[in-house]
Copies of this chain bind each other. A is one copy, B any other.
Amino acid sequence: MPYINIRLAGELTREQKKQIVEEMTSTMERIAGKPREYVIVNFDETREENWGWGGQLLDEL
Protein backbone atom coordinates (compact mmCIF):
# COMPACT_ATOMS: atom_id res chain seq x y z
CA MET A 1 0.00 0.00 0.00
CA PRO A 2 -0.34 2.11 -1.87
CA TYR A 3 -1.22 -0.39 -4.57
CA ILE A 4 -1.01 1.04 -8.08
CA ASN A 5 -2.52 -0.80 -11.04
CA ILE A 6 -1.68 0.36 -14.56
CA ARG A 7 -3.79 -0.95 -17.44
CA LEU A 8 -2.82 -0.11 -20.96
CA ALA A 9 -3.35 -1.15 -24.54
CA GLY A 10 -0.27 -2.81 -25.98
CA GLU A 11 2.94 -3.84 -24.28
CA LEU A 12 5.83 -2.17 -22.54
CA THR A 13 9.44 -3.28 -22.56
CA ARG A 14 10.98 -4.50 -19.32
CA GLU A 15 13.06 -1.31 -19.24
CA GLN A 16 9.96 0.89 -19.52
CA LYS A 17 8.29 -1.00 -16.68
CA LYS A 18 11.40 -0.62 -14.55
CA GLN A 19 11.50 3.15 -15.06
CA ILE A 20 7.77 3.56 -14.48
CA VAL A 21 8.00 1.60 -11.22
CA GLU A 22 10.92 3.79 -10.10
CA GLU A 23 9.18 7.06 -10.90
CA MET A 24 5.77 6.17 -9.51
CA THR A 25 7.28 4.81 -6.31
CA SER A 26 9.23 8.01 -5.94
CA THR A 27 6.06 10.06 -6.59
CA MET A 28 4.18 8.25 -3.81
CA GLU A 29 7.12 8.65 -1.43
CA ARG A 30 7.69 12.37 -2.03
CA ILE A 31 4.12 13.59 -2.38
CA ALA A 32 2.04 11.19 -0.32
CA GLY A 33 4.73 10.42 2.27
CA LYS A 34 4.37 6.66 1.84
CA PRO A 35 7.36 4.49 2.78
CA ARG A 36 9.07 3.30 -0.38
CA GLU A 37 9.04 -0.37 0.66
CA TYR A 38 5.23 -0.47 0.82
CA VAL A 39 4.59 0.81 -2.71
CA ILE A 40 3.36 -1.90 -5.07
CA VAL A 41 2.90 -1.44 -8.80
CA ASN A 42 1.18 -3.88 -11.11
CA PHE A 43 0.86 -3.74 -14.92
CA ASP A 44 -1.93 -5.12 -17.09
CA GLU A 45 -0.90 -5.18 -20.74
CA THR A 46 -4.00 -5.75 -22.86
CA ARG A 47 -4.98 -5.91 -26.54
CA GLU A 48 -6.23 -2.75 -28.31
CA GLU A 49 -9.29 -4.70 -29.37
CA ASN A 50 -10.23 -5.05 -25.69
CA TRP A 51 -10.80 -1.32 -25.20
CA GLY A 52 -13.75 0.81 -26.19
CA TRP A 53 -13.75 4.62 -26.14
CA GLY A 54 -16.66 6.85 -27.09
CA GLY A 55 -18.64 3.88 -28.37
CA GLN A 56 -15.97 2.44 -30.70
CA LEU A 57 -13.21 -0.09 -30.31
CA LEU A 58 -9.83 1.51 -29.80
CA ASP A 59 -8.39 -0.22 -32.87
CA GLU A 60 -10.95 1.60 -35.07
CA LEU A 61 -10.00 5.07 -33.92
Q: How large is the interface on A (under 10, 10 to 19, 20 to 34, 35 or more residues)?
A: 35 or more
| Chain B residue contacts of A43, Cβ below 8 A | 46, 50-51
Given contacts A1-B9, A2-B6, contact A32 B54 (CB under 8 A): no
Q: A18-B60, A41-B52 are in contact. List 11 more A-B contacts (CB 8 A).
A: A1-B7, A1-B58, A3-B8, A3-B42, A4-B4, A20-B52, A22-B55, A24-B27, A40-B52, A43-B46, A44-B46
Please list 18 pairs of residues, one from A and one from B, whose beta carbons are closer than 8 Å in the complex, sorted by A's number. A1-B51, A2-B7, A2-B8, A4-B5, A5-B7, A6-B28, A8-B32, A17-B52, A20-B31, A20-B32, A25-B52, A25-B54, A25-B55, A27-B27, A36-B54, A37-B53, A39-B52, A39-B53
